Amino acid sequence: MNFRFTNADTALKGTVILPVAENNSFMPIGKALNTALKGALQKAVKAQTRFTGQNGQVLVVNGFTHNNVDQVILLGVGDVKALQDADFQRLGAIITAQLNQMGVARAQVVVHDIENKSKNTKIAATMAFGAKLKSYRFDNYKTKMTKEQKPSLVQLDFVVSSRAEAQKDWKAFSGLTEGIYLARDLVTEPPNKIYAEKFVERVRQSLKGLPIRVKALNKAQMEKLGMGALLSVNNASGREPYTLVFEYKGLKNKKSFDLALVGKGVTFDTGGISIKPGMNMWDMKNDMAGAAAVTGAMRALAHRGAKANVVGIVGLVENVISENATLPSDVVTSMSGQTIEVLNTDAEGRLVLADIMWYVQQTYKPQIMLDAATLTGAVIMALSDKYAGVFGEDDVLVNDVLRAGKETGDAVWHLPMGAALDRQLDSHIADVANISVTGGAGASTGAVFLKRFVQEKTRWAHIDMAGMAWSKSPSVMNPAGASGFGVRLFDQFVRNVLEKETVKPKKTAAKKTAKTSAKTKR
């Protein structure tokens, strides 16, 4: 679906979407159009008593014989002045669903007379963002689609006060939509199409032309680095594992990296020898959604030229079964030197993260490290599929993640991790076991395991997004399927935490960071 921004003097014709405020109050263009249509809009509103202009309501009016306008979709927007960005995104998504349901190919959305604290060009861009999120499709492997099964909507025009201005406002969103689309594609592709090597290829392709340095570590290089934990997960696979590193430097004259984003990229998780029950195993093609989120976020940051230095890293492996598979009770040596007793081969994500977290800290010394992983089924038991869990003992950092979640709709909830839980990971013969022998609080156990691979100076939080990678049913904002969770969350975190700091005088910013981390250190 394409959209355009057109200037206020554009003639209205065909299908027109007309916002109507609460209590059916028409805006100036609405009033004029109603007159031009000989009162047909007001008449329809009167006849359909359930339509009151409440936010999200829709009323289709047609049958005009004397105008270039074929049909008007009245779009309830409620209390216009109170509307926030998220509301405009939602309205964009509602329009898209409505037009596709009606089989409309082209439509115009009247935006330039909406009065809100945001300017109308920004409102149009925000609606377009919602429309884009909702219209994501993945039909690559459908060979027999009929016309009716395909989305009808090809073109959406937003009428605004300044076309040029709206295009500028849209720029802020375009990278984000591309990042989210990339993440969704990577997650949706089946495991025989996206395995480590293909992930690398696809991502290189997608990042072409953007200011990101991409580095891929192959098996031999990872062996040399001593990434025995990550490699053990891929033992049974006939496919080459990779670690992908993305370097993005938005601050050219600063050498260090402010932030590391770390993603679990298990391209398929059978559980290994600790095999999963078969019924819903197909879900496990989503086990690389953390890696997809990191990749999508890196793309978005580079696209909009974020003023921050961010390194992304994803570990790409396949957890399958063969005669070479890791056995429950095998002991492996991680890059950190710590030995791990693999009591359950299905708790593999933490093995991957242990090594890439260590590598990224050793190599880039980031101040902050956030990881995203579909790590445990337990987090779904705790939080459903509506929230990801965030774990960490640095309250300032955890709050920054929660705030970014609230602002973007990538919802996150704080869950506990503490020293008491850490003891559950003691192993009889190695430094640490990969599961708790006593059981309980499985999502927190995952977090305390990861903590063993976090260095003293790193401020770290872990995001368990197992419930968030894939939506079984569509929502107002998104189609069913891969959600792209994490891309907006990370982008917003960078805006709030890193970009805000760079506009402060240097000394103050440095002092503040030092103070905060000292206060929150164990």
DSSP calls for 9-63:
TPPP-EEEEEEEEGGGEEPHHHHHHHHHTTTHHHHHHHH-TT----TT-EEEEE-
353 or 487, CB closer to ligand BES?
A: 353
287 or 394, CB closer to ligand BES?
A: 287
Member of 87, 287, 341, 491 binding Zn ion (CB under 5 A): 287
Evaluate whether 367 touches 517 at the Cβ level (below 8 Å): yes
- The one of Zn ion, ligand BES, none whose footprint includes residue 461, by CB under 5 to 8 A per kind, is none
Q: Which residues ranging from 76 to 135 are in contact with Zn ion (CB under 5 A)?
A: none
Only one of the segments 218-226, 235-243, 265-273, 429-437 lies at the binding site for Zn ion (rule: CB under 5 A); that segment is 265-273
Three-state SS at 468: coil
CA 378 to chain centre: 21
The beta-strand segments (E) located in 69-117 are 69-78, 106-110
- The one of ligand BES, Zn ion, none whose footprint includes residue 394, by CB under 5 to 8 A per kind, is none
Q: Per rule CB under 5 A, is residue 349 in the interface with Zn ion?
A: yes
Task: For residue 48, give the nearest of 33, 37, 66, 61 by alpha carbon.
Answer: 61
276 is catalytic: yes
Q: Per rule CB under 5 A, is residue 346 in the interface with Zn ion?
A: yes
Separation between Cα atoms, residue 310 and residue 295, nearest integer Å? 12
DSSP single-letter state for residue 236: T
Only one of the segments 261-269, 293-301, 362-370, 470-478 lies at the binding site for Zn ion (rule: CB under 5 A); that segment is 261-269
239 or 350, CB closer to ligand BES?
A: 350
Q: What is the largest CA-CA distance in the chain?
A: 85
4 is catalytic: no
**Closest separation in Å from C-beta 447 to Zn ion:** 15
Q: Per rule CB under 5 A, is residue 464 in the interface with Zn ion?
A: no
288 or 417, CB closer to Zn ion?
A: 288
Task: For residue 482, give the nearest of 212, 295, 279, 242 by alpha carbon.
Answer: 295
Q: Per rule CB under 5 A, is residue 269 in the interface with Zn ion?
A: yes
Per-residue tokens: 347: 């708790």
**Closest separation in Å from C-beta 292 to ligand BES:** 13
- The one of ligand BES, Zn ion, none whose footprint includes residue 435, by CB under 5 to 8 A per kind, is ligand BES
Bridge partners of 339, per DSSP, are 333
- The one of ligand BES, Zn ion, none whose footprint includes residue 377, by CB under 5 to 8 A per kind, is ligand BES
**Closest separation in Å from C-beta 468 to ligand BES:** 9
Options 163, 350, 459, 488, the catalytic residue: 350
**Closest separation in Å from C-beta 37 to ligand BES:** 52
Three-state SS at 472: coil
27 or 236, CB closer to ligand BES?
A: 236
Options 4, 219, 276, 365, the catalytic residue: 276
308 or 378, CB closer to ligand BES?
A: 378
The structure tokens 């037009």 sit at 99
- The one of Zn ion, ligand BES, none whose footprint includes residue 114, by CB under 5 to 8 A per kind, is none
Strand arrangement of the beta sheet that strand 339-342 belongs to: 330-333, 339-342, 432-433
Q: Which residue is nearest to ligand BES (CB)?
A: 377
Neighbours of 171 (CB within 10 A): 12
CA distances from 315 to 84, 246, 298, 353, 360 (A): 37, 12, 15, 7, 11
User: Interface with ligand BES by CB under 6 A: which residues?
Assistant: 269, 283, 287, 344, 346-349, 374-378, 435, 442, 466
Cα dihedral 371, 372, 376, 377 in deg (nearest 10): 160
- The one of ligand BES, Zn ion, none whose footprint includes residue 153, by CB under 5 to 8 A per kind, is none
**Closest separation in Å from C-beta 192 to Zn ion:** 18
> Which positions are annotated as active-site residues?
276, 350
* Residues in contact with Zn ion by the rule CB under 5 A: 266, 269, 287, 346, 348-349
